[in-house]
Amino acid sequence: MNPVNRPAPARRVLVTGASGMLGGAVAQLLREQGHHVRTFQRRASQGATDEVLGSLTDPGQLARAVDSMDAVIHLAAKVSFTGRWEEFVATNIEGTKHLLDAAEAAGARDFVFVSSPSVAHFGEPLAGADAGTADPAKARGSYARSKAAAELDALSRNSQEFRVAAIRPHVVWGPGDTQLVERVLERAKSGRLPLLDQGAALIDTTYIDNAAAAIVRGLERMEQAQGLALVVTNGEPRQVGELIAGICRAGGAPSPKFSVPGWLARGAGAVIERVWLAAGARNLVHDEPPMTRFLAEQLSTAHWFDQRETRRVLDWQPEVTIDHGLEKLAAHYGGKAPLPAR
């Protein structure tokens, strides 16, 4: 066998957040490649034979989770458009610190921190941008600020003895996605899904299979990726309106019929978020307000990224195109494959 094509040796890998869509896909891919996978999350996940249940806020539980592990892929996080800052600090900042401490103490060699491009998105359009540097002071929203602080902490630990890389998948979606797809379909079916600025903003997204493969590849290519933050996308920028229309067709929902100016949505989102938090309001379905300033910015501001450095470092290419992903999504919902988004 050619040494270049020889499979990587089996390793013992801890995956946090494996009960989520992306964490579950990462754990499954690792298993398929022959690695021993231990999962760590709050609730039990399907297919796990080695599982530790617990919280990132409990150092003792984390110590048990990392015991005898060669590597850690850290996906668990508080992911929300709103919420109290203290909650993001406890899980995303302090929780990551506890896990890093535990992994180093246990002798794990590699640590992949799954981050977000939002840690270096400061509200301005990004067109063909590089990854940029995480900045908690400038990032928009509590999730992005807390992930930025955690990413900086993680990368500061990188050494030859404890190698750390940050992988930032951007807008991950696919069958079973409750963060984007289900919210789009629910609001579209109820007639509560407007486009912002006619849906003209150009954005990158990442199909779930591609995101999982890139994260695992980050672990395999740690020698090249250590110390770096790499944005991962499909590399197929689409207008927001085109992508949302494709998701709606795949899920059997009507496409949005009206548009709201982006500036108006951003202002309204800021007000709604403050009122929502102050009143302790709760959306019975998602526990999220209908709009926030961060969400309005994401839907009305261009953000797509130069993928050349990511693909060079990881020696990786996405295998599922946006249109193929929409076909898979339509099959998931039992419908016909949607027409291409363009």
Instruction: At 312, give phi and psi (nearest 5°).
Output: -70, -50
pLDDT at 101: 98
Residue 327 lies in a domain: no
Position 86 in a domain: yes
pLDDT at 261: 58
Q: Where are the beta strands (DSSP E) in 75-183?
A: 110-114, 126-129, 163-169, 172-173
Establish if 181 belongs to a structural domain: no
Buried b or exposed e, range 169-188, using 16+ CB within 10 angstroms: bbbbbbbebebbbebbbbbb
Say what the pTM is: 0.88
- For position 5, what pLDDT does the model report? 44
Q: How far, CA to CA in Å, does 186 sit from each of 69, 132, 180, 322?
A: 40, 34, 10, 21
Question: Is residue 184 included in any domain, yes or no?
Answer: no
Q: Is 45 helix (H, G, I), strand (E, B) or coil?
A: coil
Single out the residue of 177, 247, 183, 184 nearest to residue 211, CA to CA: 177
Q: Which residues of 256-294 are buried (b: 16+ CB within 10 A; e: fewer)?
A: beeebebeebbebbeebbeebeeeeeeeeebebbebbbb
> Which residues, in sequence order, are bridge partners of residue 39?
15, 51
Residues of the chain under the 50 pLDDT cut: 1-6, 263-265, 267-272, 276, 281-286, 293, 341-342
Q: Tokens in use for 284?
A: 């019975």
Note the pLDDT of residue 270.
Answer: 46
Asked if 207 is an active-site residue, the reply is no
3-state SS class at 261: coil
**List 111, 143, 207, 305, catalytic entry:** 143
- Judge whether 75 lies within some domain: yes
Torsion angle of alpha carbons 98, 100, 104, 108, nearest 10°?
120
Considering the chain, what percentage of its residues have pLDDT values greater than 90? 61
pLDDT of 172: 94
Following DSSP, what letter does each residue of 109-124 receive, concatenated? Answer: -EEEEE--GGGG--SS
Question: Can you give the CATH number for the domain in which 120 is found?
Answer: 3.40.50.720
**Is beta strand 238-239 parallel, antiparallel or unpaired with respect to 202-203?**
antiparallel
Strand partners of residue 164:
111
Confirm if 273 and 293 have CB atoms less than 8 A apart. Answer: yes
Distance CA 13, CA 323 (A): 32
54 within some domain: yes
Q: How many domains does the chain have?
A: 1
Residue 325 lies in a domain: no
pLDDT reported for residue 11: 96
Do 216 and 70 form a contact (C-beta atoms < 8 A)? no
pLDDT given for residue 268 in this prediction: 45
Whether 131 is covered by a domain: the verdict is: yes
Strand runs (DSSP E) across the chain, as ranges?
A: 12-16, 36-41, 51-53, 71-74, 110-114, 126-129, 163-169, 172-173, 195-196, 202-203, 206-207, 229-232, 238-239, 259-260, 303-305
Residue range(s) defining the domain that contains residue 23: 3-173+207-232+305-319
